[in-house]
Structure formats: structure tokens, C-alpha cells
Amino acid sequence: MNADMTVAEFFAGIGLMGHGLELDGWSVAFSHDMDPKKRAMYAGQFGAGHYVLGDIHELDADAVPTVTLATASFPCTDLSAAGKRAGLQGAQSSAYWGFVRVIDEMAERRPSLILLENVPGLLSSHDGQDLEDALLALNGLGYAVDMFIVDAARFLPQSRKRLFIVGTRKQLGDGHQAATVPPVVTPARPRTVTEFIIAHQGIKWQLRELPSFPQRSLSLADIVEHLPDDDPRWWPEDKVADALDRVRDRHRPALEDLRAGEEWSWLPAFWRGHDGVTCCDPRMDGIAGCLRAGGGFTRQLLLQLGHGRLMARWMTPRETARLMGIGDYEITVSVNQALKGFGDAVCVPVVQWVSENYLTPLLANAQANPMAASSRAAVTCLA
């Protein structure tokens, strides 16, 4: 491990951001979150020797060790309809400004790299004003910025798009050729991202080329926990029948074909409202929907079909762990606590890919070319 590959993990949750980085050789020196239940999960898996519990707005910058990278998967609630789209001034998502304050107060100890992770809805929150404010704040702390979107479905059978923002301080000026400016549309930088970059010329950008995403090899069948027929987690027949009655007509022929099949098939499903009616909506594309942190109707169903049968149950915590790329996670908490922890987390192979293809090469290049890194104009500004 490179001695400079140290991480402070803010909004650490159950530790999946840090774990993904550690798979690429980084070392987590500090973790911080305010949720004691997530800390309990983290401690059960990784130990909690460096995990500090508390409100980000009350964290003393002196308590944060000197590190190369700081990560922040700050709360996304206020960026969605669930949080009434209050944005970065909302009660939860405003925690981002607590993170900015801590980095600011670290002064000359500020990390060379920042990695933010959140939902793509940040791009459009308050017509883009929230994201502009967030990026300008990083600029003001000496960081040029880049951003891209990665869908966990590139690695795992779960649809989970997340926006990643990288902030780079001047001493890590990159000797590699920057990505095209204005940026071209790619899978990692779809039109929503490139249009934002082009429309915000006052932001200091440093864009790096990204490789193609890998081809996913895992299917939903690979994550299913095979429960015996008499396991109490399977729903009784009357409850299954009620769920089937709530499936919309357009999905019924496909369900019947799978039920008649000679092999088992698995479909995820959500309860959704359509025209004032609660429906059971299965996904037919072979991947799970985005895991969520809530309970009740936000939980995801799993339908097992074949051999003339159709069975149904909620997804298990073990299955959600596998969908997040860490199937061996130690689960010693309640079902609801585990589902919330995984639903709020970041997919491990996604973080590992970001590290392997962006963070580590950037750091390695700066170390290999210190004069170029310190003297080369690393910022591409569209202004």
C-alpha cells in the first residue's frame, strides 16, 4: 500500500465506501457518521476503532487526521420527492455544508482529493443551483472538479445510478491529457452531465478521460438466497394471490410463461401507486430495482416462478448485501436495520472501479511526475 493512500470517510454509514477503496489499496484512517445503528453494523464488520459518532456540524476539524482523500456520501433525502426537494438547505442534505466547513478548517492539511457521492437528482435540484453552489464551494477551497455517473447495474444486478464528484487540489495537477472540453457524451458522462458542465463555465473543471464500463457477469439468480419451501419468510398462498391480483395486465402473460417454465426464475417487484390503485409491479429486465432505506412499501419483493408455481417473499438482508457487492457482510442486527444500512450505502464494486480508474491513477501520476504536477496548469476552465 502507498503510504499516501489514506482516507477520511465522512457519512461513513456501514462502511462500504471505505471498503471499496481498501480493495484498491487505500487505508481508512477516520470514519464519521451520526447514526449509532449504522456504527453498530460497521463495528460488526470492520471494527470501530477509528469511527467517530456525532453531528458533522459539531465535528472539530482538529479531530480529523491528515489524509490524502476525503469522501462524503452525504444524505440525499432532501434531493428527492421524499424530502420535498428542499435541496442542500434541507434538514438532512444540508449536512454537506458541515463537511465543507470541516475541510475548510483543516487549512493547510486539506486532503489532496475529495470524492462526493449522491443521487443524480443533485444535477437538477433547484434547477441546478444546489450543485453549482456545492461545486463553487469546492473551488473556493482550492479544488478543481469533475463529475460522472456510474450505474451499479454495470457490475451488479441492481439498477442504482449515482453521481460522483471528484475534487483535485492544485498539487495533484494531472500530466495526462484532459477529457475533451466541451465534454463529449459518454456512458459515464451522459447528456445531463455534459450539459451542466457546458452551462456552468464559471466553475473550475478538471476532466479526466474514463474507460468503458465492464460487462456485468452476475445475474439476479446469483444473488438469490435459496430458502426451503417451509421457510416462514415465504408468503402464505392468500397473500401471494392478493399480490398477483394487483399485477397489471401487461405483465401477466410474462409471469404465466415463467411460472410454466421448467426452470426457476426470479423477478424483483415493488408496490407502486398507479391511477390511485396500489399495484404489484415486477421488473422484467432481470435486475433488481434500486435498494431503498425505508421499510413498508419501499421494500422490494422477490417472486420465484417455475415448475407451475409462483412464490413470493421480501428480499432478505443477505440478498441486499449481495446486491451491494459485499455478500459476506456480518449481519447481526434486525432485518429493518440491515435493510436501512444497505439501502443507504454505496455499491462496493462501483467505488472500486472509481478508485482503480480515476483516483489511484491520478495520485500515482502526480507522484511519478512531481514537477509536472506542481507546475502544469491542471485546471480546464470553460470561462
Domains in the chain: boundaries:
6-214+346-381, 226-315
pLDDT in the model for residue 298? 75
- Greatest CA separation found in the chain? 71
DSSP, res 284: -
Q: What is the pTM of this model?
A: 0.91
pLDDT in the model for residue 63? 97
Residues in the chain predicted with pLDDT less than 50, given as ranges, are 1, 174-177, 372-383
d(CA 9, CA 56): 12
pLDDT in the model for residue 180? 60
Helices (H) and strands (E) in the chain, counts: 13, 13
Helix axes 95-105, 129-140, angle to 10 degrees: 10
Question: Is the separation of the CB atoms in 117 and 72 below 8 Å?
Answer: yes
CATH superfamily, with its number, for domain 6-214+346-381: Vaccinia Virus protein VP39 (3.40.50.150)
> Which set of grid coordinates corresponds to residue 254?
410474462
pLDDT in the model for residue 80? 55
Question: Is the separation of the CB atoms in 206 and 147 below 8 Å?
Answer: no
d(CA 234, CA 116): 39
pLDDT in the model for residue 220? 95
pLDDT in the model for residue 381? 46
d(CA 163, CA 189): 10
Residues composing the chain: 383
pLDDT in the model for residue 3? 60
d(CA 143, CA 100): 12
The model's pLDDT over 202-239, given as tens digits with 9 standing for 90+, comes to 999 999 999 999 999 999 999 999 999 999 999 999 99
| Strand order, beta sheet including 161-169 | 51-53, 27-33, 6-10, 69-72, 113-118, 161-169, 143-151, 204-205, 380-381
Nearest to 156 by CA among 332, 352, 377, 305: 352
Q: Which amino acid is at 349?
A: P
